Amino acid sequence: MNEKRFLQFLEKELSGIPQEEKKDILFDYREHFTMGKADGKSEEEIAKALGNPTALARKYKAEYYVENAERNRTAGNLFRAVLATLGLGFFNLVFVLGPFIGLLAIIFALFAVSAAAVISGIAVFTEAASLPFFFGNAHLPAFVAENTAASAFLSVGLVSLGCLMLIAVGYVSVWVFRITLKYLKLNINIIARR
């Protein structure tokens, strides 16, 4: 591979990261080629010693997307960072995608449970409130449904429990976000330096 093709491959694979960064990265390799040639090496020799430009570009990309997710903490940026890290090797399907899906599933389950608590609280309230009008169709045990204090207590309790759990899920999500980014950084440093 000669210099031109090396730089072309690198540039092509760097698509998606900002122009300014791309220029910066290409500058380093162009400089490297210039120095190497001044040292009397052939373009092919230099390119071979540098390694695979596609693999290099993927590493830059993964690093860029992880930094980006750190700066702007949105779910979309986190997903992009995870995807970019997957490009570093087959290995990461198991060691990044697997655990990540697992964590998402846990968050989703916690969210579903909290939402269910809020919804049942509301349901208890509606049922108790509508009982005088629809006699005999109660789903609640009679001693609760016919006791205003008990049903009010149950419904308020369920709604507040659900809300507290939702707040907790929010904290858990933020924590998962941070842990994921930390792990991705570690992963990039360990895996991609070949």
Partner 1 sequence: MNIQFKKGVLELLVLSILKKRDCYGYELVNEISKNISISEGTIYPLLRRLTKDGYFETYLKESKEGPPRKYYRLTKQGDSTRIDLESEWYDFIKKVNNIVGGDKTYE
Residue (of 106, 17, 30, 95) closest to 59 by Cα position: 17
Options 8, 23, 31, 182; binder of partner 1; rule CB under 8 A:
31
Q: How far apart are CA 105 and CA 98, in angstroms?
A: 11
The residue among 55 and 107 lying less far from partner 1, judged by its C-beta, is 55
Binding partner 1 by CB under 8 A: which of 3, 14, 22, 60?
60
Least Å distance, CB 60 to partner 1, is: 6
We find the least distance from the C-beta atom of residue 41 to partner 1, in angstroms, to be: 11
Residue placing its CB nearer to partner 1 in the complex, 130 or 189: 189
Q: Of the ranges 22-30, 79-87, 117-125, 160-168, which one interacts with partner 1 (CB under 8 A)?
A: 22-30
Give the Cα separation of 24 and 17 in Å (integer).
11
Instruction: Count how many Cα atoms sit within 13 Å of the Cα of residue 10 in the half-sphere of its side chain.
Output: 25
Alpha-carbon distance 79 to 86, whole Å?
Answer: 11
Cβ neighbors of 144 (< 8 A, separation 6 or more) are 128, 150, 151, 154
Candidates 58-66, 113-121, 141-149, 160-168; binding stretch for partner 1 (CB under 8 A) = 58-66
By CB under 8 A, tell whether 36 contacts partner 1: yes
User: In whole angstroms, what is the distance from residue 2 CA to residue 45 CA?
Assistant: 9
Per-residue interface string for the shown chain with partner 1, residues 95-114, x marking contact by CB under 8 A: --------------------
Q: Which of 3, 14, 22, 53 binds partner 1 (CB under 8 A)?
A: 53
Q: Report the C-alpha dihedral over residues 103, 109, 115, 116, rounded to 10 degrees.
A: -170
Per CB under 8 A, residues contacting partner 1 are 24-25, 27-29, 31-32, 34-36, 38, 49-53, 56, 59-60, 63, 67, 189-190, 192-194
